[in-house]
Amino acid sequence: EALSAPRMSEVQSVPPLPFLLTVKEVSLLLQIPRHKVYLMIETGAIVAVQLNAEYRVRKDSVEQLIPEGTTLQ
């Protein structure tokens, strides 16, 4: 039996990749100094990845720190 591409009705939607924020963006969103964001990364309070010399912070990690009912744009 030959393989064929799935029909559009059979394709499941793929969840979006986690949105990554810069340290500056996190600083502005949480209204805290950048050095505090770096401290939060170092202590594991927020999840980040290092890309070359810069960090990118997972949006969902930051959202956990924001009061319920507030959404990040």
The span from the CA of 13 to the CA of 34, in Å, is: 36
Buried b (16+ CB within 10 A) or exposed e, 29-63: beeeeeeebeebbeeeebbbeeeeeebbbbbebbe
CB atoms near residue 21 (< 10 Å): 22
Read off the pTM. Answer: 0.68
Task: For residue 64, name the pLDDT band (cuts at 50, 70, 90).
Answer: confident
Residue 5 predicted with pLDDT over 90: no
In tens, the pLDDT along 10-52 reads 555 555 545 899 999 999 989 999 999 999 999 999 999 998 8
Do residues 33 and 64 make contact, with C-beta atoms less than 8 angstroms apart? Answer: no
